[in-house]
Amino acid sequence: DVKTGDDVEATVVDLENENGEVELSFRFAGHRKAWDHLLELFRVGTIVEAKVLEASKGGLLIRLENVAGFLPVSQLSPDNYPRVAGGDKSKILEKLKTFIGTVMEVKIIDVNENEEKLIVSEKVVWEERQKNVISKFKIGDVIEGEVSALADFGAFVKFDILEGLVHISEIAWQRIDHPRDIMKVGDKVKAEIIGIDGSKVFLSMKKLIQDPWKSVGDRYRVGQVVKGKVLKANPFGFFVELDPEIHGLAHISELSKKPVQNMTDIAKVGDELDFMIVSLEPEQHRLGLSLKAMEEKDKPAEEKKEEKA
């Protein structure tokens, strides 16, 4: 679009070329001007729009001020961060490809013309906009929100325009393998704010539920025989459900008087067995169970006398 008479900027690349002429470059001049502008945007902290050109497993290739840059996955806002179960890289890439052609509001977080490095962040913009909203909340506040995503380590809950994390250990008093055992995306839940770290909000659902372990002594005692359902088998023993709120552990050393080579020979997940309670620690939320003690209990009196002798 350049025409005769236009005022333009150019960079001198050769004082005298093979034709004896001063050689100029529009591209070099534009390149320098673009990087100078990017540096100024970085210094001021201006929010700018960047177009997404391509996607890779590590993030998005963007264009800003006609300069190619990079937006790492870790710098995406919570709304756009690809929450993929197990961190499957191919599924992450599929999610990132959906952003190709879109325009994102970002801030420059690193710029270096010599290295031709331009790194931008969408998360920083998101965090800046959350500050005023987060200031309205404090630790101890109870919020009501909607489950927006589930991960192995917990559940994300949206409330107001914020999003908080309920760690798996803060979902329920009983042991759970995955948040989906308790909830699903879209569920309405209540939670208490237990931590605020910058733009990160940490929540607890179980703090709003009475701790069943406080009254565990009213239902269970050491020496009591109870029926339990095997929930999970680990190398160190069985996790056993006595009721929906109280789970116990039958340590491998308490499964049999004989050395245990294969725990599946004793029980499988889903089996219901009689156990004896051998320890009870309400404050630590621990209850120990034993099958070995049941073997001893069920022995005929004569056999016990012989062993004692």
First CA to last CA distance, the chain: 108
Establish how many alpha carbons lie within 13 A of residue 190's alpha carbon, considering only the half-sphere containing its beta carbon.
6
Q: Which 8-state DSSP code applies to residue 15?
A: S
Compute the distance between CA of residue 8 and CA of residue 22 in angstroms, rounded to an integer. 16
Nearest-5° Cα angle at 113, 126 to 38: 40
pLDDT attached to residue 309: 58
pLDDT, tens only, 44-101:
999 999 999 999 989 999 999 888 999 999 999 988 888 776 667 888 899 999 999 9
pLDDT in the model for residue 308: 59
| Residue spans of alpha helices (H) in the chain | 26-44, 89-97, 123-134, 292-297, 301-308
Instruction: Name the CA radius of gyration of the chain, rounded.
Output: 31
pLDDT attached to residue 304: 53
pLDDT, residue 307, reads 56
Inter-residue contact 15 to 22 (CB < 8 Å) = yes
Q: Which of 187, 176, 178 is nearest to 144 (CA)?
A: 187
- This prediction has a pTM of 0.58
Q: Give the pLDDT means over successive 10-residue stretches in the chain (309 positions).
A: 86 85 80 86 93 93 91 90 76 91 95 91 88 86 93 91 91 87 92 89 93 90 94 89 90 87 86 93 92 76 57
Buried (b) or exposed (e) across 25-53, using 16+ Cβ within 10 A?
A: eeeebbbeebbeebeebbeeeeeeebebe
Q: In degrees rounded to 5, what are phi and psi of residue 153? A: -95, -5
Name the amino acid, one letter, at 169: S
Q: Which residues are 62's β-sheet partners?
A: 52, 69
- Which DSSP state fits 174? S
Q: How far apart are CA 178 and CA 204, in angstroms?
A: 16
- Burial of 208 (C-beta count, 10 Å sphere; 0-12/13-18/19+): exposed
